[in-house]
Structure 1
Amino acid sequence: MNGFKEEPMPVVPSAPPLQPPNSADQTFSIINYGCTAGPPDHFTSSPPVPWSTGLCDCCDDVSSCCLTCWCPCITFGRIAEIIDRGSTSCGVSGALYTLILCVTGCSCMYSCFYRSKLRGQYFLVEQPCTDCCVHCCCEGCSLCQEYRELKNHGLDMSIGWHGNVERRKRSAAMKPAVYQGMKR
């Protein structure tokens, strides 16, 4: 018609679809991913994993249980600092928790938000009921469980986010490089 000959469009092969991760790839923490913002996007559809300890296993870590019993604001502040990856400090989060507790008596509404964030970061199952119900019915036990979960992921809760990042950098720098010789 116009003197132009229509040529067929070239076929471009598409990339294979992403496969779900195997069971070894389902646990993510600062240890696995260093200081990144989180796991890769294709892992967001991972099946939920169980908590490392139960809700009522408070006596598994007596020191955190006592800390939570006498000063839940400190426990919450430490949890919030780690979950927020250092963008909020332990002191600010703990003070806000205490202020909400003193003014309204409903600090559980604030802390249940962080339980949801923690579950999202580590792909944890929402159990034994919703996050809000767990915090409203048993605030102390839920804070202890979250604290233990973060400790079980290799974090030292007493040094905060930035301390854990520095510790991770030091341990990575101290690992000797192992070179293997030629093999036949």
Structure 2
Amino acid sequence: MNPNMSNTKSTPPEGKWSTGICGCFEDVTNCCVTLWCPCITFGRTAEIVDKGKTSCFGATRNCFLLFSLFGIGSSIYSCTYRAKLRALYSLPPKPCGDCCVHHFCFCCALCQEYRELKNRGLDPEGGWVAAEANAKKLRGRTTAPPVPSPGMTR
């Protein structure tokens, strides 16, 4: 291993998505959760994007009710959080506008947003408090230079 290389994962640059919309299998566990219970993934992501102002439970419930009652309502509700996430990290509206992505690729969009937060050090699964603590820890981490091994002694 190169001593100049750090083994810490770097944070993706602002202005660029860290994964593509079709990268669902990069996190198989989240892919399965999103496939069967997309409102849970949405709730976790919404709590992080809103910095704890919206609870995971509240966002999950709202998404589920809109999906159950109106079908398309959940994609309109969830696209607003994609817009907030994009604004937070200056991300481009790719592959198309937020509402189109959520309407036509609902699960893929939720998976991408979840991975984006996770790749930026904010794991949505633990909630806002845990994600904020982890982000602070990552910001405070410094890499120490390697310690030279002592020469041979008798």
TM-score bracket for this pair, using the shorter chain length: 0.7 to 0.9
Instruction: Write the deviation string for residues 2-60 of structure 1: whole angstroms up to 9, x where unpaired.
Output: xxxxxxxxxxxxxxxxxxxxxxxx946xxxxxxxxxxxxxxxxxxxx221111011111
Determine which of 97, 103, 117 is the counterpart of 1:136.
103
Residue 168 of structure 1, CA deviation: 4.5
In structure 1, the partner of 2:8 is none
The percentage of aligned residue pairs carrying the same residue is 51
The alignment's C-alpha RMSD in Å is: 2.1
Residue 134 of structure 1, CA deviation: 0.6
Q: Is 1:101 the equivalent of 2:67?
A: yes
Residue 73 of structure 1, CA deviation: 0.9
Q: Which amino acid aligns with 2:67?
A: L
Could you tell me how far apart the structure 1 residues matched to 2:122 and 2:55 are?
Answer: 16
Q: Is 1:113 the equivalent of 2:84?
A: no
Could you tell me how far apart the structure 2 residues matched to 1:74 and 1:55 are?
Answer: 19
Q: Is 1:63 the equivalent of 2:45?
A: no
Q: What is the total number of aligned residue pairs between the two structures?
A: 130
Q: Which amino acid aligns with 1:93?
A: A
Residue 147 of structure 1, CA deviation: 0.4
In structure 2, the partner of 1:181 is none
Structure 1 stretches (4+) deviating beyond 3 angstroms? 166-169
Q: Is 1:52 the equivalent of 2:18?
A: yes
Q: Which amino acid aligns with 1:89?
A: S
Seen in structure 2, the aligned counterparts of structure 1 residues 168 and 121 have a Cα distance that, compared at 3 Å, is closer
In structure 1, the partner of 2:130 is 163
Q: Which amino acid aligns with 1:69?
A: L
Higher helix share: 2
Q: Which runs of 5+ in 2 are unaligned?
A: 1-11, 145-154
Q: Which amino acid aligns with 2:38?
A: P
TM-score scaled by length of structure 1? 0.65
Q: Which amino acid aligns with 1:156?
A: D
- Greater gyration radius: 1
Could you tell me how far apart the structure 2 residues matched to 1:132 and 1:72 are?
Answer: 16
Instruction: Write the deviation string for residues 141-177 of structure 1: whole angstroms up to 9, x where unpaired.
Output: 00000000000001122111112223455x38x979x
Residue 133 of structure 1, CA deviation: 0.6
